[in-house]
Amino acid sequence: MGPLRWLPLLCQLLLLRPLAAHSAGPIQAFVVPHSHMDVGWVYTVQESMRAYAANVYTTVVEELIRRHHRRFIAVEQEFFRLWWDGVASEKQKHQVRQLLDEGRLEFVLGGQVMHDEAVTHLDDQILQLTEGHGFLYETFGIRPQFSWHVDPFGASATTPTLFALAGFNAHLISRIDYNLKDAMQEAQGLQFVWRGSPSLLEQQEIFTHTMDHYSYCTPSHISFSNRSGFYWNGVAVFPEPPPDGVYPNMSEPVTPTNIHLYAEALVANVKQRAAWFRTPHVLWPWGCDKQFFNASVQFDNMDPLLEYINNRTTQYGVSVRYATLRDYFQALHAFNMTWATHDHRDFLPYSSEPQQAWTGFYTSRSTLKGLARQASSMLYAGESMFTRYMWPEPHGTVDPTWALQQLQQLRWAVSEVQHHDAITGTESPKVSNMYMEHLRMGILGVRKLMASIALDRPPVSDTDKGPVGYFASVYNPLAWKITTIVTLTVTFPNVSVTDELGHPVSAQIQNSTKDPSAYDLLILATIPGLSYRHYKVRRTRGDQADTREHAAPMASTLKYSLKLRNQTSQGGRFLVPVTNDCYTLLFNQETNMLHSIQERQSNHTVLMTQEFLEYHANGDVKQGPISDNYLFAPNDTAKPAWEAVGMEMVVGQLATDIRQYFYRNITDQDYIYAIHSRLAHVHPSPSGELLCQRIEQQYHVGPLELNREAILRTSSDLNSQKILYSDNNGYQMQQRPYKAFKSNPIARNYYPMVQSAFIEDDKSRLVLLAERAHGVSSQESGQVEVMLHRRLWNNLAWNLNYNLTLNDTSVVHSELWLLLGSKPIATALRPRSGVALQHRPVVLFRELTDEEAPNHRPKNPQAVALPPNLHLQILSIPGWNYSGNHAQQLKNLRRGPQKKPQVNLQRVLLRLHHLYEAGEDPTLSQPATVDLKVALQGLGSIVAVEERSLTGTWDKQMLRRWHWRTKTGQLRGHPTSLPESPRDAIITVYPKEIRTFFIYFQQ
């Protein structure tokens, strides 16, 4: 985190500092009891429930009821819901409702998990928040208004924008770069108003509190205690609590003889912290990981300590009280100070110490990262397909209750894996296996649902050998018309493909890269928004001379001999071109490497090559810094990981595939790396533009040798001056100038790429789009490297004890799309192409039987089409049964617990996302106006439209967030989108806006 980047904010803070004089009264310490409950990390969710999590809620509720002045904040809904549904008695449920009504128990954040901020996608962050908020509102009528993001490894600028959209009044973060935090503490700058989006600016600003260097745990060293002090219940024991109730490392109880020592320690810490803030209010978090499983011990020791200090407020100059987060932020807001502002830049990467750059987790457990995004895409497609099935009327035999169960299972699995020790890859192997099992089960259920809708019968597996052929339904989950190439794996080379009308379809057959005994069938498909195309794939006899069948042509394969890495080249005299209407790729047959790419519209050629390299990691803590699940600490620059490369080209009418195979040693039988590049031969029509303009690349990486971190390096002659751009959560781009750090410069110049990254000069922009998160860096001008895989082992005792050594022996199959063009072309293509990669068509197919009616034409719903700058972020039937009217919802809840009502199948959740920044593109950055009655007419006649907060729990017209005073006066940004009246279905979405609606159709 370079100091220059933060100079403007620090200058603001220093200018404001004279206003920071504390009032004459005592310092007010807000003691906030909490338990940090990781939804999986070292132990599985079920192990955590047995060992401590259930006891947290059981004992905390009991202790809050016992003493009215006690408080507690609860954060992650996954654990609370498991307790609520499977452990809590009716008496305890009544007590929870009472505590919430009285403000003594507060839900903060309120998502299923505390999501990671670096490697999670925007859509999945919203999903997991929505799942948690929906449960809380449906069950209690409450809506969290404060965040508690204390443990994610760095802070993204997307998060404050989303939390503002969700109705939060203040945002709390903790883990930011160590030297930046020190500077902010000295400047009393840990609190500011964050304007996370450069397009939304003040429209979605949020007050942000950064925890000081003690972070979210009670201070860890108390000299007179055998533990850490203030953790009187000790340490949780896995897998079961100790039968005698005696936990290890219990702190020394508070007694008349030591209470003054505890008091002096707490007061000294409060005063130290007070010096870092501009008001006399100090947030003093009391708790840590896996705390408060025996809340009686905790409160029985803290109660007399707080009373002791408050009886001596004049002597100590400090008053203390139990508090929720609302109590603290209300006091701060009432102080009515003028705050510094921070712009849209993020707090990434995060370093905790000079040699500890937390940039390895951007890539750790790449297979899990890929599966998490696949599951998210499957859920996205399943939600809209089921909604289209239900409206205007169900046209099949699918049971809606069963369907919602399948969707709910995957919603929870996708939500769970967004946890900051899940998709990050920083968990133990058994916990990683738990996440993957939940994701796979969820994907399987939703795939069954989609097959039941699209095929009206169960699907077949990819390897099922049907005697006649297959019937395939291809569903486009995007609200745009697309043209793409769909790939099926078939077991026979002679096939004909026809559409719903029996017309021949452009297709191509070639040897499969996955299964030597199978074939890849490429089908050119043009599909309207939220619609299907249906195809019959029939085995032909091979001799087509006397038949009317149109056999898919077989692609021809050209093989090139193996070439050594240090092979000399004749300066590009032997170049093999691969061309479509948008690009010409030139490969050097003397080296089997990419030589250059010509962007045909501008006729500009960029020299470019790609290769695999490896960073060598140290595994011995005695020898220096180590890499692990979290940290990236390379010994030196990356080294080439291959000695020889082979190449083959598969040339067909639809596409040409270039397959490069990299061998660690020339004598090896098996390659360790591969690049499969595809260039589609389609004309750039309006729907085919995205297909023509991309170079699709799939990679094979591994298995790696131990303590290796593998990268794909793309080197070009672009004069990018080592400036990289990478995204925050697929939402907005951040400029990443190379910073010459004295320590660990390679790792500290790595950034997360969730969906896209690019480098550019004054002529061209090279864009990389990803279907999973990676670490990305530009260590030299014209160069971008993507970390694809890591395999690590070290002897750090902490890692060994918790099995966090990342000895990942898997083979990773990831994918990138490359776009090259002038800045205007690349700017227009990047957001739409990123969405197209994330949400590719879903292929569902079954066996074709001889006796099947030849003119089988499944019902195809009317297309949904949005403007090209507007993305349908979700179209779903969430099933919530809460009232959209808050007063009515509270009235319903006051009647007491009812028999569980039927799910609400009438309410449709619609969320729209403008993909472009203000001023980014002359056309696509314009506001998008949509008549929902027209766009959604295929679902029926709209009778009501309600605009809601991001997670659906607030009526947008009723939402009034707190205003925090800043030095800037006039509000900037585009006009605020006014909440729509229920009868008005014409809406306008401004650049980068995300707008959420409940839609009701005529039944």
Catalytic residues: 151
Structure-token match 């006009």, residue found: 975
Query: First vs last Cα of the chain: how many Å apart?
Result: 56
Contacts of 502 (CB under 8 A, 6+ apart): 854, 855
Spacing of C-alpha 561 from chain mean position: 42
Residues 925 and 991 sit within 8 Å (Cβ to Cβ): yes
Residue written as token pair 């800043």: 966
Alpha-carbon Rg for the chain, nearest whole angstrom, is 29
**How many secondary structure helices (H) and strands (E) does the chain include?**
21, 43
Q: Which residues of 676-715 are buried (b: 16+ CB within 10 A; e: fewer)?
A: bbbbbbbebeebbbbbbbbbbbbbbbbebeebbbbbbbbb
Cα–Cα distance, 287 to 272 (Å, whole number) = 19
Which residue is it, tokens 């395999």? 791
| 155 DSSP β-pair partners | 347
Which of 90, 111, 772 lies closest to 423 in space, CA to CA?
A: 772
Using CA atoms, how far apart are residues 902 and 825, in angstroms rounded to an integer? 50
> Could you give the CA distance from residue 269 to residue 215 in angstroms, rounded to a whole number?
13
Listing DSSP states for 515-555 in one string gives -TTSEEEEEEEEE-TTEEEEEEEEE--S--TTSS--BPPBP
Distance CA 194, CA 205 (A): 5
Which of 536, 525, 537, 552 shows the shortest CA–CA distance to 842? 525
C-alpha closest to that of 537 among 488, 571, 481, 599: 488
The number of CA neighbours under 13 Å toward the Cβ of 4 is 6
Q: Write the DSSP symbol of residue 65.
A: H
E-only strand ranges, 878-968 = 907-914, 928-931, 942-948
Residue type, 803: N
Distance CA 356, CA 621 (A): 13
- Residue 648 near residue 559, CB atoms below 8 Å: yes
Measured distance CA(384)–CA(789) in Å, rounded = 33
Nearest to 804 by CA among 354, 425, 433, 434: 425
d(Cα 410, Cα 377) in Å, to the nearest integer? Answer: 11
Q: What angle do CA 174, 178, 182 make, to 5 degrees?
A: 90
